[in-house]
Structure 1
Amino acid sequence: MSFIDNLKNRYSNGNIVDKLIYINIAIFVLTLVISTLQGLYKGDINWLVEWFSLDDDYSSLLKKPWSIITYGFLHADFLHILMNLIVLHFIGNLFVEYFTQKQLLSFYILGTFFGGLLFIFSQNYFPLFEGQSSLLVGASAGISAIFIGIATYMPNYQLKLRFIGFVKLWHLAAIWIALDVIALVGDNAGGHFAHLGGSLFGFLYVTKASNKEINLFNGILSIFKTKRKPLKTVYKSPKKTTSTTKNTDLTQQQIDAILDKISKSGYDTLTKKEKEFLFRQGKK
């Protein structure tokens, strides 16, 4: 199998996180190739960046409406894309353990969209940016939406970090947002406004969808309930109805106990039997 065929196979068999990573890498490589070719012909601006990055003025958005999404697939340099894709790999795969792959893509796209809106607003509203012109590129707004979304959904989930130990997800999310707030007057202030726009979308979407406080583990119960198919009754039997009700109550108690354990200690603390039981209930 050739290198190209191997990449195609990995892409087709990968989940949505893998696909987003491959797409971002492919576009970054294409950007480098175009920059090299234009440099040989003394070109000043990479046409790919020019047409698909997000400008800081409203009139440009009318000319390039697609740029409010496409900027989220461009990156400024190798370190920029490396850091973004590392976070996307770990946080994205955690996200798809509790949400669907389609929902992750929606968070990525909509987080990018709202991040772009806040970027344009900040550049045209705050006096700090008067007389300046800037372009926005990077997947950070979409990644922020995914990160803050999953942290809002399960804030007490614990990740084990090397040399540090177990850290709750909401602690990492708080640091993530704090760094963006501190950098609002730095060299990349516009980019950090975009990050906050994505974060705000992730938080509000999860909070509104659940109609609950920050701790949203009870939302999993509603998922189990909506997936249950209605029973078709051929004839009524009081004894069978009583038995079914008891079994349902027992199952619900087991689910409650497992979800409570996850909220306190994290998914990885479940036994193999508990994970299999939770998986079977989710498929009903």
Structure 2
Amino acid sequence: MANGNLQYNFARLNIAEKLIVLNVLVFVLGGLGIALLDISVVEWFQLPKDFLEFFGQPWSIITYSFFHAGFGHIFWNMLMLYFTGRIFLNLFDAQRFINVYFLGVIVGGTVFLLSYNIFPTLLNTNTALIGASAGVTAVLIFICAYIPNQEVRVIFFNVKLWYVGAFFVLVDLIQIPYGGNIGGRLAHLGGALLGYIYARQLLKGTDIGSGFTKFRDSIAMLFKSGNKKAPLKTVYKKNASKSKTGVDYDKEAHQRKIDMILDKISKSGYESLSKAEKDFLFKAGKED
């Protein structure tokens, strides 16, 4: 019963909250493994600086983002992911969030790898990359570039989002010359670059993450095809014929309304929306 409740509660979370849970779970289990069993598995999942080592564990271009160096590291990353995720998911669905977040992780990791191999003497303070910062930064800069004039509350003041994004990018740029976590700072900037380009291209009508979506769908289909049973094929056909009579139309109308509201935001800003339009976007974000 308890296990069923946990699964139900997890399923109700949005994608950003699910990522937070997974990151915290990995952090806790990793800490317990070291404390109780003196075992650390992070070496298998962190992103190494050397290309040859990376080719031996290519999955690390993604998995490094689920491991953190300490409580402060994971706390600030997850706090930022929570707040940026809320804004993002009021505008777009979970699939686009996954695209921006994990493409930010991949681009940030790639920048880290390239930097270490192009400037090995400059970046000799790090041995491997861990942390969700590149993905979190990608989401942050995406929303800052997509709705730059939207104001958010920062302690006692309202601040435009583009000021927030510029602040975090400048902090990383300023700290690079001082030698503190240079590889990590460059990974942040890689994520920021991905988020900015993604948002600006999307405003022009181009989704640069569509290829990544197709890639993820193809991987998912491989697993589904291996578990598919023959009787399900007949049921699927019946459902498909039913959907043509109304369900698909409803989804298309729903998506058209979302696109119209997003187009209004891109032209006039988030504050130009009516309360009904804001409520509609909020509900659409929670449903995806």
What is the rounded CA distance, in whole Å, between the counterparts of 1:106 and 1:256 in structure 2?
18
Match of 2:66 in 1: 73
Structure 1 residues 187 and 8: alpha-carbon distance in aligned structure 2, compared to 1, 3 A threshold: same
TM-score of the superposition, structure 1-length normalised?
Answer: 0.73
State the Cα deviation string for residues 234-267 of structure 1 (Å, max 9, x = none): xxxxxxxxxxxxxxxxx9xx9799748961xx44
State the Cα deviation string for residues 31-58 of structure 1 (Å, max 9, x = none): 101111343xxx6xx2x21000001011
What is the rounded CA distance, in whole Å, between the counterparts of 2:261 and 2:45 in structure 1?
47
Largest Rg, 1 or 2? 1
Which of these residues, 71, 77, 84, is aligned with residue 84 of structure 1? 77
Which of these residues, 100, 105, 112, is aligned with residue 105 of structure 2? 112
| Deviation of 1:113 (Å) | 0.5
Cα RMSD of the aligned pairs, angstroms, is 3.2
| Deviation of 1:122 (Å) | 1.1
What is the rounded CA distance, in whole Å, between the counterparts of 1:257 and 1:141 in structure 2?
28
| Deviation of 1:17 (Å) | 1.0
Tell me, yes or no, if structure 1 residue 272 matches structure 2 residue 241.
no
Q: Secondary structure at the match of 2:149?
A: coil
Instruction: Write the mapping of 1:158-173 to structure 2, written as runs, cut at 5 A.
Output: 158-163=151-156, 165-173=157-165
Q: Secondary structure at the match of 1:75?
A: coil
Which of these residues, 174, 186, 195, is aligned with residue 182 of structure 1? 174
| Deviation of 1:129 (Å) | 3.1
What is the rounded CA distance, in whole Å, between the counterparts of 1:98 and 1:13 in structure 2?
19
What is the rounded CA distance, in whole Å, between the counterparts of 2:253 and 2:120 in structure 1?
55
Structure 1 residues 65 and 127: alpha-carbon distance in aligned structure 2, compared to 1, 3 A threshold: closer
Structure 1 residues 167 and 279: alpha-carbon distance in aligned structure 2, compared to 1, 3 A threshold: closer
Structure 1 residues 130 and 27: alpha-carbon distance in aligned structure 2, compared to 1, 3 A threshold: closer
What is the rounded CA distance, in whole Å, between the counterparts of 1:71 and 1:280 in structure 2?
33
| Deviation of 1:106 (Å) | 1.3
Structure 1 residues 30 and 168: alpha-carbon distance in aligned structure 2, compared to 1, 3 A threshold: same
Match of 1:184, as an amino acid? I
| Deviation of 1:150 (Å) | 1.1
State whether residues 141 and 165 of structure 2, in contact with CA within 8 Å, keep that contact through their aligned partners in structure 1.
yes
TM-score of the superposition, structure 2-length normalised?
Answer: 0.72
Q: Which structure 1 residue ranges, 5 or more long, are not aligned?
A: 213-225, 230-250
Instruction: Write the mapping of 1:114-263 to structure 2, written as runs, cut at 5 A.
Output: 114-126=107-119, 128-129=121-122, 132-163=125-156, 165-185=157-177, 186-211=179-204, 227=252, 259=265, 263=269
Match of 2:23 in 1: 24
What is the rounded CA distance, in whole Å, between the counterparts of 2:61 and 2:81 in structure 1?
20
Match of 1:60 in 2: 53
Stretch deviating more after TM superposition (123-132 or 181-190): 123-132
State whether residues 118 and 194 of structure 1, in contact with CA within 8 Å, keep that contact through their aligned partners in structure 2.
yes
| Deviation of 1:126 (Å) | 1.9
State the Cα deviation string for residues 193-237 of structure 1 (Å, max 9, x = none): 10011111111122223338xxxxxxxxxxxxx9559xxxxxxxx
Aligned residues: 235
Q: Secondary structure at the match of 1:129?
A: coil
| Deviation of 1:7 (Å) | 3.8
What is the rounded CA distance, in whole Å, between the counterparts of 2:75 and 2:8 in structure 1?
22
| Deviation of 1:125 (Å) | 1.4
Match of 1:64, as an amino acid? Q
Structure 1 residues 155 and 256: alpha-carbon distance in aligned structure 2, compared to 1, 3 A threshold: closer
Match of 1:189, as an amino acid? I
What is the rounded CA distance, in whole Å, between the counterparts of 2:10 and 2:284 in structure 1?
30
